[in-house]
Structure 1
Amino acid sequence: MSGPHPAPERRPSPPPATDTASDVVRWAAFSCVLVPVVLLWYGTSLAGAVGTALGLAAVTGVCRILLRQSERGAARLLAEERVPHRGRHHRTGTGAHRGGRHSGATTPVD
């Protein structure tokens, strides 16, 4: 006789990727403003703070582009997984087994 079965563990689902990517970009934009202000507070030159802000903005822009590409790729993979695969006899495209005779390299020719 078996006892009561424990309920299966449920793991919290991760947040959607778009929310995470947006949060990352927001924090990066915030740091683009905050870091130069802190640098000025501690006595760095205005040119140095502006240069740092421009560098951080450039890195943030590139990261945003890469995150968007990653999101598109993930969405494409999810869409491909949802499409049902065709059976063996409904293949498309060209291949070695599609009609006609094929002479192999080891077949003697007279």
Structure 2
Amino acid sequence: MPVPHPTPEPPHASNPPQDAVTDVVRWAAFSCVLVPVVLLWYGTSLAGAAGTALGLAAVTAVCRLLLRQSERGAAGRAPEEAAAGGGRRHRSGTGAHRGGRRTGGNTPVG
């Protein structure tokens, strides 16, 4: 009797969604190293490459903080929405232009 083989997991099944920020930060850190190396390879000064590396590192750090803060906000907001009756609140009307004055199209005011 043949023995059934277990089905292999998809490649990203072991990574939970919360690790998406970690993946982004890893790629950003990789670029913080790679970009200055490429700049040096193409003849940029050491000071220019170092300045670029520091700038990329600063942008990466700020983006990481904002992503983490956004994650915390989204995690804290989910239980509150469930307790308040859940779901989105829909507004009446259609589109972004509800009510208010309308001019005669795209004609200049004169």
The bucket for the TM-score relative to the shorter chain is 0.5 to 0.7
CA RMSD of aligned residues (A): 2.0
Query: In structure 2, what is the equivalent of residue 51 of structure 1?
Result: 51
Query: In structure 2, what is the equivalent of residue 38 of structure 1?
Result: 38
Query: In structure 2, what is the equivalent of residue 8 of structure 1?
Result: none
- For structure 2, the 5+ residue unaligned runs are 1-14, 86-110
Shift of 1:82: 3.7
- For structure 1, the 5+ residue unaligned runs are 1-14, 86-110
Query: In structure 1, what is the equivalent of residue 77 of structure 2?
Result: 77
In 2, Cα distance between equivalents of 1:67 and 1:35? 23
Percent sequence identity is: 76
- Cα distance, 1:56–1:24 mapped onto 2, change above 3 Å: same
For 2:40, give the aligned amino acid: L
Query: In structure 2, what is the equivalent of residue 18 of structure 1?
Result: 18
For 1:74, give the aligned amino acid: A
- Aligned pairs for 1:91-102 (under 5 A) are none
Number of positions where the alignment pairs a residue of Structure 1 with one of Structure 2: 72
TM-score, with structure 2 as normaliser: 0.59
Task: Work out which of the two has the higher radius of gyration on C-alpha atoms and give 1 or 2.
Answer: 1
